[in-house]
Amino acid sequence: MKIAILSDIHDNIWNLAAALTAVQEAEALICCGDLCSPFIIGLLAEGFPGKPIHIVFGNNDADLFRITTNAKKYPHVHLHGEFFQGELGGRRIAVNHFDNLAQPIAASGQYDLVCYGHNHIFKIEQVGQTLTINPGAIMGYDPGKKSDVPSTFVIYDTGTGMAQGYQVESRTAGQPAGIVPYP
């Protein structure tokens, strides 16, 4: 099973559209939080139709009432609060938004895969027997550094246990964004 993993959308609808177009072969999607506006739920649901979407909340998902209300319109969208644990493709998976929580969760050894976001820094790392994935930020900006960063996401293959990052290339006016392997 291939799982698309993304995080920190922060309302960047252009990069989100490019990423969703690129992940259509995936059988499930995980979002590690910071959708921001409630309308992002509809873009995710319609851009990845009929396949399960698992979402945890981030620190910038303020309007949880409207996010939840919008998600109820789409039976394939699953909101998990601040933490998700489950099995997808035979792999034990945990998802939360925060990098400082992901590391001890991974170190516990209870999961095959731990996904997180928050710091907008792309990182795939093995912690003992657990693979950790921060897919980076769809937004393409690091507020801590006050600078642009690559807009990135990951495809994880549960069969092989391998993860591949991808970057949404900058788009020019009137042209769609391209997708290239990253790093």
pLDDT for 169 equals 87
Q: Pick out the chain residues at pLDDT < 70.
A: 171-177
**Is 65 within 8 Å of 42 (Cβ atoms)?**
no
Q: 147 by DSSP, 3-state: which?
A: strand
Q: What is the per-residue pLDDT for 183?
A: 84
Q: How many domains does the chain have?
A: 1
The confidence score (pLDDT) of residue 181 equals 82
pTM across the whole model: 0.95
Q: What is the domain-level CATH number for residue 147? A: 3.60.21.10
Spatial separation of the C-alpha atoms in residues 146 and 156, rounded to whole Å: 29
Query: Amino acid identity of 67?
Result: I
- Looking at 15-150, which runs of residues are DSSP E strands? 28-31, 53-55, 77-79, 83-88, 91-96, 113-115, 123-127, 130-134, 141-142, 147-148
Domain that residue 105 falls in? 2-182
| Burial label, 74 (beta-carbon count in 10 A; 0-12, 13-18, 19+) | middle
Look at residue 20 in the predicted model and tell me its pLDDT.
97
pLDDT number for residue 75: 98
Q: What is the pLDDT of residue 171?
A: 65
In the three-class reduction of DSSP (H, G, I as helix; E, B as strand; rest coil), residue 62 is classed as: coil
